[in-house]
Amino acid sequence: MPTPNPKIGQARPQIRQLDDAAINRIAAGEVIERPASAVKELVENAIDAGAGRIDVAYADGGKTLLRVRDDGHGIDRDELPLALARHATSKIDGRDLLNIHTFGFRGEALPSLGAVGNLTITSRRDDAPAYRIAVNGGRTGAATPAALSQGTLVELREIFHATPARLKFLRSDRAEAQAISDVVKRLAMAEPFVGFTLRDVSGGGEGRQVFRADAENGDLFDALHGRLARVLGTEFAENALAIDAEREGIHLTGYAALPTYSRGSAVAQYLFVNGRPVRDKLLLGALRGAYSDFLSRDRHPAAALFIDCDPSRVDVNVHPAKAEVRFREPGEVRGLIVSGLRHALAGAGHRASTTVAGATLGAFRPEPAPAARVYQMDRPAPVGPGFAETAAVQARVETPQHAPEQDTALQSTPLGAARAQVHENYIIAQTADGMVIVDQHAAHERLVYEKLKAQMAEKGIAAQALLIPEIVELSAGDVDRIMAFGDELSQIGLVIEPFGAGAVAVRETPAILGVVDAARMIADILDELDDLGDSQSVRQRIDAVLSRVACHGSIRSGRQMRGEEMNALLREMEATPHSGQCNHGRPTYVELKLSDIERLFGRT
């Protein structure tokens, strides 16, 4: 016997109009997902009101209290009830939904908040008296006189008390508080000339200050730099590059960090469109693409980028929480981000992030000091045969010799004068105020990669024909995969052709690499193609393969270098963009200041 469908009743259902309370509760489910969503809406309203200072407070992760106070232009007494009506707003007139210059425009936030919690609004407009209006469970009271010096104060108590099922989906107080903090910080980044405070008042009274950012001064870039240092930390500000690019009326500004200041996840990526914080796949993909030449796939760039354009060129009305946007010319926006970031990264030259030196110093562990200091002059001279010979053997370094004038000139260069090579892989150089340690293989790998890219862009990569083609045995599947990429490989100077059922013949290799192990290089290229898959563009696949190929023409670890070779490598690094990091985003050198070194030995 078939089971009856429970959705089909015996009586024919009737179509009926929902009451306003139900409509508001349904709408609130789209706009107000959690306490942080309510804070976002209220702070955006304060910014739209021209506030210069915004104070946010919460209790119990925002579940029992949210309070937002601003010094904006306020709301008239007669407009307070209208502010709580659905789709009532002062920000647009409804004739052009593509010409939006404010954060809010739907007129849904306040009535939605009033539908799910106990909402109170106190506001004062210019020299007029202050008035208060309250909404409890969707029922709006009358506006009554109140005390307020300026602006607007909004309090939301017991969020979701009218929809208790929603409370079960909220996370812990700590997690909800963190979400509120993230929202306030994102909006603070977008408005550096507005002051923000955030307090946790769970215990009552003034509570605990969680975040504070006073209004910044100066021009836009100075103000933004100061605000980002306050929100993201001084390390980000010290290692970020200013971005200022424009194309076809679209303006890109902000700050992007050096590749060596990368993160293990995408938590430090902040994107804004016309001042609005967004999480847009197009913009995130463009940011990732701009760094694809400098970071491995498990590292993520850090950036705060601002796209400004005519509002008619971007649709912000595609998501209830306005977290996504749609551009009229997405290709223009993506191209601007990629080119703007790569231009700034190229301008950074060989610079690496300051955090590299900090991590190096942190790795040092000075020995515990003895009870009484014994200075070198007080120590007995070493005795016994063979001490000098033993010390010389232990050092195993190449010490370049220069004329005094030449040595002084080299020390004044950014990467200094080569002093030694240790463990056949690290170059020690002395600068005017410290020392530099260079990973010779990683540095030269980057230099070779940049040369390959330059040749590719200019006239193609020169190839050298092998007198005797090298036969590389592969599986049938690998032969098919490598030959499918054969035309692209020929563009980079690597010419291969099938050689029977399970092998390829390597006939030409890139001339810049010199003598290479063709079998190892083919294996590395196959690994790279496996990692990339089919989702990457041809250009990205070629660049990724070039990065692998560059390794085969680099100075290998374990090779002893003469003094002039070491100095030549340092000078080439100084002249080559992006040489501060290898092809995978790791640093190629570490710079230690003399003051830091002396601190390690207790000389300060």
**For strand 503-510 and strand 495-498, is the pairing parallel, antiparallel, or unpaired?**
antiparallel
For residue 286, CA distances in Å to 298, 328, 341 come to 17, 16, 10
Give the distance, in angstroms, between the CA of residue 553 and the centroid of all CA atoms in the same chain: 32
Instruction: Report the distance separating Cα 254 and Cα 272, nearest Å.
Output: 10
pLDDT in tens, 470-482: 999 998 888 988 9
> Long-range CB contacts (< 8 A, 24+ apart) of 209-212?
210/177, 210/181, 211/181, 211/184, 211/185
In the prediction, which pLDDT does 184 show? 97
The token duo for 597 is 């070194």
For residue 365, CA distances in Å to 105, 270, 387, 595, 600 come to 58, 36, 27, 17, 9
Instruction: Report the distance separating Cα 344 and Cα 220, nearest Å.
Output: 18
Instruction: Report the distance separating Cα 203 and Cα 65, nearest Å.
Output: 12
Q: Which residues of the chain have pLDDT under 70?
A: 1-11, 18-31, 86-107, 137-138, 318-322, 357, 361-406, 533-538, 604
- Contact status, residue 227 vs residue 237, Cβ threshold 8 Å: no
The token duo for 541 is 């696949």
Neighbours of 593 (CB within 10 A): 14
In the prediction, which pLDDT does 533 show? 65
Residue 377 falls in which region: left (phi positive, over 0), alpha (psi -120 to 50) or beta:
alpha
Tell me the sheet residues that pair with 455.
Answer: none
For residue 69, CA distances in Å to 49, 57, 130, 155 come to 11, 9, 14, 9
CB within 8 Å of 412: residues ≥ 6 apart: 432
**For strand 269-273 and strand 303-308, is the pairing parallel, antiparallel, or unpaired?**
parallel
Percentages helix, strand, coil for the chain, rounded to the nearest 5? 40, 20, 40
CATH number at 20-213: 3.30.565.10
Neighbours of 483 (CB within 10 A): 15
Compute φ and ψ for 33, nearest 5 degrees: -85, -30
Instruction: Report the distance separating Cα 515 and Cα 506, nearest Å.
Output: 13
The token duo for 376 is 């070198």
In this structure, CATH architecture of domain 403-604: 2-Layer Sandwich (3.30)
Closest of 325, 308, 309 to residue 317, by C-alpha: 325
Match 């390794």 to its residue by tokens. Answer: 551
Closest of 498, 509, 510 to residue 473, by C-alpha: 498
In the prediction, which pLDDT does 361 show? 66
Instruction: Report the distance separating Cα 111 and Cα 506, nearest Å.
Output: 71
Read out DSSP for 134-150?
EEETTEE---EEE--SS
- Contact status, residue 176 vs residue 34, Cβ threshold 8 Å: yes
Compute φ and ψ for 307, nearest 5 degrees: -100, 125
**206 SS3 class:** coil
Residue 349 falls in which region: left (phi positive, over 0), alpha (psi -120 to 50) or beta:
left
For residue 510, CA distances in Å to 464, 507, 549, 576 come to 6, 11, 9, 20
Q: 559 exposed, middle or buried (CB, 10 Å; 0-12, 13-18, 19+)?
A: middle
**20 SS3 class:** helix
Read out DSSP for 322-352?
S---EESSHHHHHHHHHHHHHHHHHHTTT--
CATH fold for the domain made of 220-347: Ribosomal Protein S5; domain 2 (3.30.230)
Instruction: Report the distance separating Cα 62 and Cα 72, nearest Å.
Output: 23
- Contact status, residue 213 vs residue 231, Cβ threshold 8 Å: yes
Which H or E run includes 241? strand 240-247
Q: 217 exposed, middle or buried (CB, 10 Å; 0-12, 13-18, 19+)?
A: exposed
Q: What is the dihedral of CA 341, 343, 345, 350, to 10 degrees?
A: 180
Domain ranges of the chain: 20-213, 220-347, 403-604
Neighbours of 299 (CB within 10 A): 17
